[in-house]
Amino acid sequence: DKLPERVYPLVLLSSSTSLTFLRFADAIFKAYSLHEDGFAGVIKTVGIWVPDFPSTHNSLLYPAILHPVFSILSGIDINHQVRITGILIVSFLPLIIYEIFVKFFDRNTSILASFLFLFYPFLHYLLGSRDGFAVFFIAMLFFTLFSNEINPVLRKAFLILFAFSIIVSHYGNAYYFMLLLFAATIIAFLVSKNIKAKLDLAIPVFCSLYFVLTFLWYLYTSVSQNVNWAVGYGEHVFTYLSEFLKPEHSPALEAVVTKWKFTEEVTKYLILNNISFIAVGILKLIYDLFKRRKILDEYLIFALAFSSGLLVFLLPRVMGTPRIFITLSVILSPFSLLGLSFLLSNFYKFMRIERKRINYAFFFSIFLLFLLLFGSGFVSSIMEKIADMPFDPTDPARWFVVPNEYDITAITWFLYHNAGDERMYADHLYMIDTPIREGELNGGWPNFPLVYAGRSVYDMKPFKMLPIRDYLEKDGNVEKGSYIYLGYHNTVYNFIGTINEAGEKVPLKTSDYLHLFERENKIYDNGISLIYRR
């Protein structure tokens, strides 16, 4: 209460920059590869952009234009430049949404809601990614939409610019945002009809414009020239929404029922409490609207629309990934405080506790403090220093490859030196995502083209990556000339990740199979990563 409100933006920006850098500084200096690097490196290397080249990332201006241009002008390597721009985007996001919230709430509520967004544990999903770029422009779009001070003509021009920027940032976010706009249009019509208020046509018109822009951009980038364009567009939307929502399994249910380590378990319940507070705040809003206690405006329409996006968490076999919740938080964060305030006031009434004034901000600040300490890794860092925890192969976090110099150097060497279409046996972690300096591999194939604009980009040759389980269990079927790869976690942590026929994760010990590896010809050894040839 003693802090002047005029310095809130400065405090928020400095906190955001400091925390973002503290969270992700290691990514700048110690990580060696990012998924986003692929196409940016290709375009920078070739020196030309072909807009209609048939590839998803090529039609997105974030990897295709921003990174190559920024890297060339600054002289900074693509790999590091991606992280620098990512930190800048994530740092300014809380300040932008604060300026959105302050138009509809008091400054105390706005600053607390902005810190809630900043302290969200999965905010790193936005770092150096197309997601972060898309969410940045979603925030800029709403800032412009709700700013009546801006000249109406400029306002419309900026809205079109930011809408198009969302579309060309990330297909999944773009199409999910399109669904939210449809929901806003429907809600505006239904609610205005029930409360007998005049329907503002601005939202339906903007929704239609956004749909047309996404449609035209898809037509252009896919070079659609036949009568199947409508079907192709629908299939395109469905494909990227399916990828975005990950319908092949249910991470939401898995995350809720899984017993995590202490710090992760506390973080899980803090996130669930946050979602519950938002739900209560939205239900209170709906009640107030029908009781005529609130006047429907554009912000409340979008709040109701974005709250409907939370329903995706309840769908069977479908979950909105953490990045979806980040998108929703651009509008919904204040309702967490409103929901908590409503619960506290009713709790005091139920318990017949008389208080002249309930300090809701104090209780919410305590909640934010716990979210910061646990969600940002401060508590876990302290606990790991106190107790040197052994490697646990049952920990879900261990089943993801952490980019490291040894793996990247080894795999890149093989890409340049194999004859092409060779067979390499590697464990499950590398088959899903194999980082290299230029981007990453999926099953031995790069996520970027090796020939672009008629020019050779890298003198690499892709290969076939096969499960090492086949080598370990069906040794007699392994052809001569095949390769076996042991990476960082295989040699350092004595851990091989495999998947059985039932799709279950089966951790193995590298030491149990040394007799198999040592009989092969070792052709590469950088001290950690090893490549053998039969």
pTM of the model: 0.80
The yes-or-no verdict on residue 407 having pLDDT over 50 is yes
Winning range, highest mean pLDDT, from 55-59, 131-135, 180-184, 345-349:
180-184
- Integer Cα distance of 446 and 415 in angstroms: 10
Residue 227: per-residue pLDDT: 38
- 334, 110 in Cβ contact below 8 A? yes
DSSP calls for 298-366: HHHHHHHHHHHGGGGGGSTT----HHHHHHHHHHHHHHHHHHHHHHHHHHHHHTT---S---HHHHHHH
DSSP calls for 67-120: HHHHHHHHT--HHHHHHHHHHHHHHHHHHHHHHHHTTTS-HHHHHHHHHHHHT-
Residue 319: per-residue pLDDT: 46
Residue 498: per-residue pLDDT: 92
- Integer Cα distance of 281 and 276 in angstroms: 9
Q: How far is CA 125 from CA 94, 157, 164, in A?
A: 15, 30, 22
Residue 53: per-residue pLDDT: 82
The yes-or-no verdict on residue 218 having pLDDT over 80 is no
Winning range, highest mean pLDDT, from 280-284, 398-402, 440-444:
280-284
Please report which confidence band the pLDDT of residue 386 belongs to, taking 50, 70 and 90 as the band edges. Answer: very low
What is the tens place of the pLDDT at every residue in 349-375? 877 776 656 678 888 999 999 998 888
* Alpha-carbon 84 to chain mean position: 17
- 160, 124 in Cβ contact below 8 A? no
Instruction: Give, in degrees to the nearest 5, the angle at Cα 138 between 64 and 128.
Output: 45
What is the tens place of the pLDDT at every residue in 42-52? 898 888 888 77
The yes-or-no verdict on residue 338 having pLDDT over 90 is yes
Residue 201: per-residue pLDDT: 65
Please report which confidence band the pLDDT of residue 314 belongs to, taking 50, 70 and 90 as the band edges. Answer: low
Rounded average pLDDT over 173-183: 87
How far the first Cα of the chain sits from its last, in Å, is 70
Please give the residue that has the higher pLDDT: either 113 or 30: 113
C-alpha torsion sign, points 134, 135, 140, 146: positive
Instruction: Give, in degrees to the nearest 5, the angle at Cα 175 between 149 and 119.
Output: 65
- Per DSSP, what are the bridge partners of residue 426? 467
Phi, psi of 463 (to 5 degrees): -140, 170
What is the tens place of the pLDDT at every residue in 4-50? 888 899 999 999 888 887 776 655 555 566 667 788 888 988 888 88
Tokens of 266: 């506390």
3-state secondary structure of 275: helix
Rounded average pLDDT over 127-138: 81
Residue 247: per-residue pLDDT: 44
**Weakest mean pLDDT among 229-243, 283-297, 392-406:** 229-243
- Integer Cα distance of 136 and 414 in angstroms: 38
Tokens of 436: 């290299």
The yes-or-no verdict on residue 110 having pLDDT over 90 is yes
DSSP calls for 495-528: -EEEE-TTS-EEEE-GGGGHHHHTTSEEEEESSS
- DSSP-derived letter for residue 453 is T
- Integer Cα distance of 420 and 84 in angstroms: 35
The yes-or-no verdict on residue 248 having pLDDT over 50 is no
CB atoms near residue 295 (< 10 Å): 10
- Integer Cα distance of 253 and 386 in angstroms: 32
Q: How far is CA 59 from CA 254, 313, 458, in A?
A: 34, 30, 21
Residues 6+ away with beta carbon under 8 Å from 390: none
Residue 54: per-residue pLDDT: 76
Q: Closest Cα to residue 17, out of 110, 85, 90?
A: 90
Rounded average pLDDT over 435-450: 83
Winning range, highest mean pLDDT, from 110-124, 178-192, 395-409:
110-124
Instruction: Give, in degrees to the nearest 5, the angle at Cα 414 between 31 and 56.
Output: 60
Q: Closest Cα to residue 178, out of 327, 54, 74?
A: 327
Q: Report the percentage of the chain scoring pLDDT > 70.
A: 81
pLDDT averaged over every residue in the chain: 81
The yes-or-no verdict on residue 212 having pLDDT over 70 is yes
Given the DSSP bridges, would you call strands 464-467 and 434-436 parallel, antiparallel or unpaired? unpaired
Rounded average pLDDT over 84-108: 90
What is the tens place of the pLDDT at every residue in 147-171? 888 888 898 899 999 999 898 888 7
The yes-or-no verdict on residue 229 having pLDDT over 50 is no
Residue 99: per-residue pLDDT: 94
Encode 396-429: b = buried (16+ Cβ within 10 Å), e = exposed. eebbebebbbbbbbbbbbbbeebeeebbbbbbbb
What is the tens place of the pLDDT at every residue in 457-512? 888 999 999 999 999 987 677 888 899 999 999 999 999 999 988 888 899 999 99
The yes-or-no verdict on residue 533 having pLDDT over 90 is yes
The yes-or-no verdict on residue 311 having pLDDT over 80 is no
- 47, 456 in Cβ contact below 8 A? no
H or E segment at 395?
none
